[in-house]
Amino acid sequence: MNRFSNRTFVTLALLGLASSSVVAQQREVAKPAATPHIIGAAKLIIGDVKQNQTYYEQMFGMKEVSHFSSAGVYDEPIMGLQEGDARLALFSPLAEKPIKKSQYPVVLIYTAEFDAITKRIEDAKQPLNRLPASQSGTFRIAIARDPSGNAVEILSRPGKTEVGGSKLIVDDRQKAEDFYIRIFGAAAGQRFKTAAYDEVLMQFGQGPFLALFQPLTEAPLPKSRFPVVAIYTTDFDAVLKRVQDAGLGYREIKSSSPDSRIIIAQDPAGNAIEIIRRAPGAPASLAPPAKK
Structurally, the chain folds into a number of domains equal to 1
The Cα 108–Cα 208 span in angstroms is: 9
Whether residue 114 is contained in a domain is answered as yes
Q: CB under 8 Å to 12, separation ≥6 — which residues? A: 4, 103, 104, 105, 129, 131, 143, 151, 153
Whether residue 113 is contained in a domain is answered as yes
Task: Specify the pTM.
Answer: 0.85
Whether residue 111 is contained in a domain is answered as yes
Quick one: which of 189, 169, 197, 31 has its CA closest to 107? 169
The Cα-based distances of 121 to 3, 42, 59, 65, 155 in angstroms read 14, 21, 6, 22, 14
- Is pLDDT of 4 > 70? no
- Is pLDDT of 176 > 90? yes
Whether residue 265 is contained in a domain is answered as no
Domain residue limits at 39: 6-224
Q: What's the CATH code of the domain at 127? A: 3.10.180.10
Instruction: Give the start-end residues of each E strand in the chain.
Output: 37-45, 63-70, 74-80, 87-93, 107-111, 128-130, 141-145, 151-156, 162-169, 187-193, 197-203, 209-215, 227-233, 250-255, 262-266, 272-277, 290-291
Whether residue 229 is contained in a domain is answered as no
The Cα-based distances of 192 to 112, 204, 265 in angstroms read 25, 18, 26
Q: Which amino acid is at 102?
A: S
In this predicted model, which residue has the larger pLDDT, 289 or 119?
A: 119
Q: What is the pLDDT of residues 188-207, one digit of tens each?
A: 999 989 899 999 999 998 88
Whether residue 219 is contained in a domain is answered as yes
Whether residue 140 is contained in a domain is answered as yes
Residue 30 has a pLDDT of 45
Whether residue 272 is contained in a domain is answered as no
Q: What is the pLDDT of residues 30-89, one digit of tens each?
A: 445 678 999 999 999 999 999 999 999 999 999 999 999 999 999 999 999 988 789 999
